[in-house]
Amino acid sequence: MSEALIDALNPALFWEYRLVLLRGLAFNAYVFFAAATVALVVGLAAALLRVNRAWPFRMLGTLHVEVFRNAPDYIMVIWVHFVLPLLLGKLIGQRIEFSPFVSAVIALGFVYSGYFAETFRAGIQSIPQGHLDAGRACGMGETAILWRIVLPQVVRRMLPEAVNQFVSLFKATTIVSLIAVPDLMYQVSMVTQQEMRPLPLYTGAAVTYFVVIYVVAGSVRGLSERWRNKIYA
Amino acid sequence: MDAVPAIRVVDLRKSFGALEVLRGVSFDVHRGSVVSMIGASGSGKSTLLRCINRLERPSAGEVFIDGEPMGGPVTASGERKERPLKDINRMRRDLGMVFQQFNLWPHMTVIGNVIEAPLRVRRMSRKDAIQLAEECLARVHLSEKGKEYPARLSGGQMQRVAIARALAMQPKAMLFDEPTSSLDPELTDEVLTVMRELAADGTTMIVVTHEMAFARDASDRVLFLHNGQIEEEGPPDQVFGQPRSERCRQFLSKKLQ
């Protein structure tokens, strides 16, 4: 290897800025956890609409899934940050602005709620009718059946797929730098502008993301498999 | 015999679309007695059982539990209003049900399955519920399996846990829907033994079954269903010994071959 190449790949510069970059990574985590919460709550609500007996509810749920599953993350982030406040502002006749963080969480949360809704729905529909009958025969109410019998099984069944979606969501958090959420990518861009050394900085960022996702997703998968094996042995 | 039967079924009818599954079935089950329901597949036995605890809503007719109508009291104008689900759930507590497919909840341990309804429905304390569950598991001879998950049990053990789960609601009557039909022959005996013990203890039971020996030896009355109607009924000696109906005779001769 030429000395120029070794010099170019030297991670010392990346290491020098580690605290700034770590703060950026923390922002990825904040956006991830907030958006994941939105996606799970809204996704569950949409899934419950999708399996409702009344067709208007089912339609509403389907509409939600189709709209958000087919919206590109990038477009949604831009639209929620720049267009939605304008629309809402016109509606109530007042100037509104979302902080970049809030926009990022809403946009990613809703996009992924479309995916999670489908995962939840498939999970709910895979629970045998007999499990519900058994609950009803014991005099359990529908709410108790949902929370005690259906959802705990749905969570176990959907875990492998949900882990994949969480990984996608975490990767998607890297585009929030577009609307100036100070995440890792944003910080790397800032430092690059100062140092003019894109190679070690962006490579360092790529390796960091890879390692974080690989380690976290791998351990979550392992844990969830051990947990599932207990009941599906 | 008491004046008010534990379960009284009056002219029960049920249709699924154009298909009439039950065409007016009436019978009483007195406290402490065991009624077996036999008949070919599709004769309406399981539907009848599911109508009794209202897992299916009957198209017409009424079920009385201890004299109280499941479908709600008749108003002055002669109409019968459907009860709110909350009322139906309260009445379902008095009817334990055991299913052909066991229907244990796989994400809960054996003890978890048994304490669930006492905890959530009867609002017992966890300590009392566990004590009760242990008694129920002892009755089905599975005291040592409390901490296992259903996936680790044999079919016969699963069905006995399901029986314990139904007993834990301390119901007034137990409904069995073909409890041994999805079990290997060598596993049916352990379930039938438990059911015989329950019968001997004076448990009120309705048993839909293909086990003719159980119907003959363990029940007080046998109903033979055909095409959604009771074609033959009486004490087992009579139904098995001198059936009046030709269809019942044919059914039994095939079954007892």
Give chain B positions within 8 Å (CB) of A136: 55, 89, 92
Among A131, A136, A144, the residue with its CB nearest the CB of B105 is A131
Dig out the tokens for B3 from the structure. Answer: 């004046």
| Domains: count for chain A | 1
Our CA-based measurement puts residue A52 at a distance from the nearest CA of chain B, in whole angstroms, of 17
What phi and psi, each to the nearest 5 degrees, are found at residue B124? -75, 160
Q: Is A55 on the interface with B (CB under 8 A)?
A: no
Looking at the predicted structure, is the pLDDT value of residue B219 above 70?
yes
Length of chain A, in residues: 233
Beta bridge pairs of residue B9: B27, B63
Q: A114, A69 in Cβ contact below 8 A?
A: yes
pLDDT digits (tens, 9 = 90+) for B58-84: 988 999 999 888 887 777 777 777 788
Q: Which pLDDT value is given to residue A224?
A: 84
Closest CA in chain A for residue B86: A141
Q: Residue A10 corresponds to which amino acid?
A: N
Confidence tier at A17 by pLDDT (50, 70, 90): confident
pLDDT digits (tens, 9 = 90+) for A50-107: 998 899 999 999 999 999 999 999 999 999 999 999 999 999 988 889 999 999 999 9
Sheet with B60-65, strands from edge to edge, namely B19-29, B7-16, B60-65, B68-69
Cα–Cα dist A8/B113, whole Å: 62
Looking at the predicted structure, is the pLDDT value of residue A146 above 90?
yes
Question: E-assigned strands of B17-90?
Answer: 19-29, 34-38, 60-65, 68-69
For chain A, report the end-to-end CA distance as a whole number of angstroms. Answer: 53
The residue-averaged pLDDT of A215-231 equals 85
Among A131, A139, A231, the residue with its CB nearest the CB of B117 is A139
Q: B146, B111 in Cβ contact below 8 A?
A: yes
Asked if the Cβ–Cβ distance from A140 to B89 is below 8 Å, we say yes
The candidate with the shortest Cα–Cα distance to B224, out of B191, B201, B252, is B252
The residue-averaged pLDDT of B102-110 equals 95
Q: Which pLDDT value is given to residue A1?
A: 62
Closest CA in chain A for residue B92: A139
- The residues, ordered by sequence, that sit 6+ positions from B143 with a Cβ below 8 Å of its Cβ are B134, B137
User: Residues B49, B53, B57, CA angle at the centre, nearest 5°?
Assistant: 90
User: Which structural domains are found in chain B, ordered by start?
Assistant: 1-91+219-257 (3.40.50.300)
Q: Which pLDDT value is given to residue A30?
A: 95
Q: What is the CATH number of the domain that holds A116?
A: 1.10.3720.10
Looking at the predicted structure, is the pLDDT value of residue B126 above 90?
yes
Looking at the predicted structure, is the pLDDT value of residue B177 above 60?
yes
Cα–Cα dist A204/A201, whole Å: 5
Q: Which pLDDT value is given to residue A233?
A: 54
Give chain A positions within 8 Å (CB) of B105: 131, 134, 149, 153
Confidence tier at B2 by pLDDT (50, 70, 90): low
Classify each residue of B195-215 as buried b or exposed e, where b means 16 or more C-beta atoms within 10 Å of its C-beta. beebbeeebbbbbbbbbbebb
Q: Which pLDDT value is given to residue A172?
A: 92
Average confidence score pLDDT of chain A: 90
Q: Residue A196 corresponds to which amino acid?
A: M
Confidence tier at B41 by pLDDT (50, 70, 90): confident
Cα–Cα dist A38/A45, whole Å: 11
Give chain A positions within 8 Å (CB) of B89: 136, 139-141
Cα–Cα dist B22/B47, whole Å: 8
The candidate with the shortest Cα–Cα distance to B198, out of B240, B177, B222, B170, is B170
Q: Which pLDDT value is given to residue A121?
A: 95
Give chain B positions within 8 Å (CB) of A156: 107
Average confidence score pLDDT of chain B: 91
Q: Domain span at residue A106?
A: 3-231
Q: Which pLDDT value is given to residue A227?
A: 82
Q: Residue B249 corresponds to which amino acid?
A: R
Q: Which pLDDT value is given to residue B105?
A: 95
For residue B90, the Cα-to-chain-centroid distance in whole angstroms is: 17
Cα–Cα dist B169/B163, whole Å: 11
Looking at the predicted structure, is the pLDDT value of residue A2 above 80?
no
pLDDT digits (tens, 9 = 90+) for B53-63: 999 999 889 99
Q: Is A152 on the interface with B (CB under 8 A)?
A: yes
Among A128, A140, A231, the residue with its CB nearest the CB of B117 is A140
Among A137, A139, A153, the residue with its CB nearest the CB of B107 is A153
User: Beta B7-16 vs B19-29: how paired, if at all?
Assistant: antiparallel
Q: Which pLDDT value is given to residue A232?
A: 67
For residue A149, the Cα-to-chain-centroid distance in whole angstroms is: 26
Q: What is the DSSP letter of B59?
A: S
Dig out the tokens for B175 from the structure. Answer: 């409904």
Beta bridge pairs of residue B233: B223
Looking at the predicted structure, is the pLDDT value of residue A13 above 90?
no
Looking at the predicted structure, is the pLDDT value of residue A20 above 90?
no
Confidence tier at B186 by pLDDT (50, 70, 90): confident
Closest CA in chain A for residue B105: A131
Confidence tier at A195 by pLDDT (50, 70, 90): confident
